[in-house]
Amino acid sequence: MLATVNAQQTPSNALSYTDQALLHGIAKDVSAKRIEQDIRTLVSFGTRHTLSETESETRGIGAARRWIKEEFEKISMECNGCLEVFFQSQVISGESRIPNATEIVSVIAIQKGTSDPNRYVMMSGDIDSRVSDVMDSESDSPGANDNASGVAGTLEAARVLSKHQFEGSIVYAALAGEEQGLFGGKILAEYAKANNWRLKAVLNNDMIGNIEGVNGVINNTTARIFAEGTRNTETPEEANYRRFTGGEVDSPSRNLARYIDLMADRYIENLDTMVVYRLDRFRRGGHHRPFNDLGFPGVRIMETNENYNRQHQDLRTENGIVYGDTIEGVNFEYAAKLTALNAVSLAGMANAPNPPADVNISGAVQASTTLSWKPHDDLSPTPNNPHLKGYKVYWRLTDAPQWQYSKYVGNVTTATLENVVIDNYFFGVASVSEDGFESPVVFPGAAGAFGE
């Protein structure tokens, strides 16, 4: 199987992409009103601190997680039990922020894929909240934006997406213990690895509702996507290979970010994304990191303008400044827009075929560049791409942020771009379904691999 194509130096993303009515519908179905209701409910538990009360039905982290589980179960009832809903817990102790034995309990809901259930994409938010002292489990800690907004967005995405069926599975996760040291994410990432999940995307939503920056900027038309560069699991041998071939800006997390960026352009009105070439904010953390630690593609999606007076603060007024993460600091329409971005990205990937595996590239001292990848039938004991149509090769100038050129090459496992010199571009390949759903672009080699 070999395709030879002539290089056409025309930007072709918009030209060659199949617009998906399904994704426009999903984006429209996301409700700011329901997101507001859920944030208000989460805030009403007073505090959701990891070390807070667990017995009360009205206050503390126990009541909050039970409510989230009930909410996922309600959503599941409306789709004839399409969600598998469970608590995922582990007892943690002896940590600086969790000195005494504490049950860390996340709430997980899984919508199984129809044809490739072991392939997963995931959206997450965090249950827990905090004030100025990270060990203060008693004070009121509304955590409206950080991170009831992320949990409310995840619940809403589940509501909207559970009305449809997808080829791959979608995980909706309300993760626990974020502020105390990313524990819920660690537990779920290790679970995914132990259970051989083919986890292709983690969309960690942490603070998706603030539009008033501490620097005075007010902006509801952009969002940030944080994505790490070289992957944490890279071996010295892989790093040495990358030194001579490239891949510093093409980890699967980066190409996941580029995928989401295009989804914003295509399906979310009045929203542009800023892809940030960093794991996370400067010296700060989030729940995608434990997944990146194990080699899974993962990004952080969040507001562009943060307000530090409204994060991790005791509720108070000082020198005329109101501190605290209260409901007044959340813009529900904006949170809905970012939720819609998650939903269309999850749906797009879950309906696309498996991202190409074992992508290789060659062409040094030749006029042309050749890419190859693994035939999809070999990927698993059961055919996981029943609706695969073929593959699309992408390339871009090495300093361009987004893929610039593409060529559909058919259902082949090798493609040569005639007279496109390997030295001058970065290359990748995506899989395309019969309906035109595309996977993220996979950069060749270990640096860019999305796995099997």
Task: Give the interface with Zn ion as residue ranges (CB under 5 A).
Answer: 146
CA dist 287 to 259, 268, 351, Å? 20, 25, 25
Minimum Å gap between C-beta 149 and Zn ion is 11
Minimum Å gap between C-beta 134 and Zn ion is 9
Q: Which is nearer to Zn ion, 142 or 348 (CB)?
A: 142
Minimum Å gap between C-beta 90 and Zn ion is 21
Q: Which is nearer to Zn ion, 261 or 306 (CB)?
A: 306
Nearest Cα residue to 198 out of 31, 390, 353: 353
Give strand pairing partners of 5: 417
Minimum Å gap between C-beta 41 and Zn ion is 19
Minimum Å gap between C-beta 284 and Zn ion is 9
Beta strands in 268-422 (DSSP E): 272-276, 298-303, 316-318, 321-323, 360-362, 369-372, 388-397, 405-410, 414-418
Give strand pairing partners of 298: 202
Contacts of 131 (CB under 8 A, 6+ apart): 139, 140, 141, 312, 313, 314, 315, 324
Q: Which is nearer to Zn ion, 146 or 228 (CB)?
A: 146
Q: Which amino acid is at 183?
A: F
Buried b (16+ CB within 10 A) or exposed e, 193-210: eeeebbbbbbbbbbbbbb
Q: Which is nearer to Zn ion, 176 or 432 (CB)?
A: 176
Q: Which is nearer to Zn ion, 36 or 146 (CB)?
A: 146
Nearest Cα residue to 272 out of 282, 260, 284, 283: 260
Minimum Å gap between C-beta 385 and Zn ion is 39
Task: Tell me the residue nearest to Zn ion as measured from the CB.
Answer: 146
Are 355 and 450 within 8 A, CB to CB? yes
Q: Which burial class, exposed, middle or buried, applies to 37 when counting CB atoms under 10 A from its CB (0-12, 13-18, 19+)?
A: middle
Q: Which is nearer to Zn ion, 36 or 179 (CB)?
A: 179
Q: Which is nearer to Zn ion, 45 or 259 (CB)?
A: 45
Q: What does the angle CA 392 – CA 397 – CA 399 come to, to the nearest 5 degrees?
A: 130
Cα(246)–Cα(263) distance, rounded to whole angstroms? 26
Minimum Å gap between C-beta 2 and Zn ion is 52
Q: Which is nearer to Zn ion, 338 or 343 (CB)?
A: 338
Minimum Å gap between C-beta 315 and Zn ion is 15
The DSSP symbol for 115 reads S
Q: Count CB neighbours of 86 within 10 A.
A: 13
Are 268 and 260 within 8 A, CB to CB? no
Minimum Å gap between C-beta 312 and Zn ion is 6
Q: Which is nearer to Zn ion, 86 or 308 (CB)?
A: 308
Enclosing H/E stretch for 202? strand 198-205
